[in-house]
Structure 1
Amino acid sequence: MKLTLQKRLAAKILKCSEKRVVFEPARLEDVKEAITKTDVRLLIGEGVIKEKPKQGVSRVRANKRRIQRRKGLRKGEGSRKGKVNARESKKQAWMKKIRAQRKFLKQLKKGALIKPRMYKKLYAKSKGGFFRNIKHIKLYIQENKLILKSEKENAVGNVKDAKKAKKAKNAKKIGKIKKT
């Protein structure tokens, strides 16, 4: 049974390829009698002529790879295409750098290693992109002799402060236990 005309008409109506047009095997006689577009439209409405779904490319493998990359896998040198700046945007690199610098400056200020005024100056310099990294900040501080205490004294002070804080915390806990 030759149904090329009906396939062509149905394909035009359904706006798909002739390969994707399917006829119901039980009603092939009705399909054969349909010569005009209106006849074919009626058969499409009845469900005698159907359209096969489009066959796409499966995303399963791609999704699996994406999940692996989220875990940090499949990111070795062999998988990389493009330069470092192409893989990590300039903005992301800047954010990572400036956050580390600001955290370091905050620690210096908190540990009373630099004066608040000097902190502001260093903060502004880092914001302006003066420092390449934390090591550069340390070098700048040493060259300009901006540090207030020696690091050794500060380390000893931090240990003593930590011990005092721990004792106070334990005393509070003991006080609460005795009350109850």
Structure 2
Amino acid sequence: MNLKNKRKLAARALGVGANRIKFDPNYLEDVEDAITRADMRSLLTARTILIKSIKGTSRGRARIKHAKEKKRGKGKGSKEGKKSARQGKKELWVTKVRAYRRYLKVLKDRKEISNKVFWSLYRRIKGGQVRSLAHLRSLVEEEKRKQV
């Protein structure tokens, strides 16, 4: 008996692909008699029609590779090339500048510095005159002392 159309009907009724539909070989006559979507749904509840589970991509190899990478030494002695070969100079600059600007914005929102001071320091950050966050803090303190 050809159950190709029954498989298609079951797939449409159950909302899965036709390749995932499996009929119980002991009850093929019941499948042949089923002609409506409701019949297909009732056969699913009666476990005459089974839906195969989806086969995904196995992550087994990826897990093994990750474990190997974690095992390898990443200490000072294993590093090759300049620091800028691992993280680009521009990337480093962008992260630093963003941190400085975030800190400045917090100070301005708290009303610890005026708008004028904010923009003068903002321009100094852009010009590369600020070495670190600690240096920025000292510059802020200087500006506060100048105002008093």
Q: TM-score, normalised by structure 2?
A: 0.51
Alignment length, in residue pairs? Answer: 92
Which residue number corresponds to residue 57 of structure 2? 57
Q: Residues 129 and 71 of structure 1: is their aligned pair in 2 closer, same or farther, counting only changes over 3 Å?
A: farther
User: Structure 1 CA distance, aligned partners of 2:131 and 2:57?
Assistant: 52
Which residue number corresponds to residue 85 of structure 1? 87
Q: Which runs of 5+ in 2 are unaligned?
A: 80-84, 97-129, 137-148
Q: Residues 57 and 125 of structure 1: is their aligned pair in 2 closer, same or farther, counting only changes over 3 Å?
A: closer
Which residues in structure 2 correspond to 1:109-124 (within 5 Å)?
Answer: none
Which residues in structure 2 correspond to 1:19-30 (within 5 Å)?
Answer: 19-30=19-30
Q: Residues 129 and 90 of structure 1: is their aligned pair in 2 closer, same or farther, counting only changes over 3 Å?
A: farther
Q: Which runs of 5+ in 1 are unaligned?
A: 78-82, 95-123, 131-180
- Residues 14 and 41 of structure 2 are in contact (CA less than 8 Å); yes or no, is this contact kept in structure 1? no
Which residue number corresponds to residue 6 of structure 1? 6
Which residue number corresponds to residue 17 of structure 2? 17
Which of the two has higher C-alpha Rg? 1
Identity %: 31
User: Structure 2 CA distance, aligned partners of 1:67 and 1:90?
Assistant: 28
Which residue number corresponds to residue 47 of structure 2? 47
Which residues in structure 2 correspond to 1:134-173 (within 5 Å)?
Answer: none
Q: CA RMSD in A?
A: 3.2
Tell me how far 1:128 sits from its aligned partner.
6.0
Deviation by residue 1:36-70 (Cα, 9 ceiling, x = unmatched): 11111110111100111111111000011111112
Which residue number corresponds to residue 127 of structure 1? 133
* Structure 1: 4+ residue segments shifted above 4 A: none
Larger RCO of the pair (alpha carbons < 8 Å, separation 6+): 2
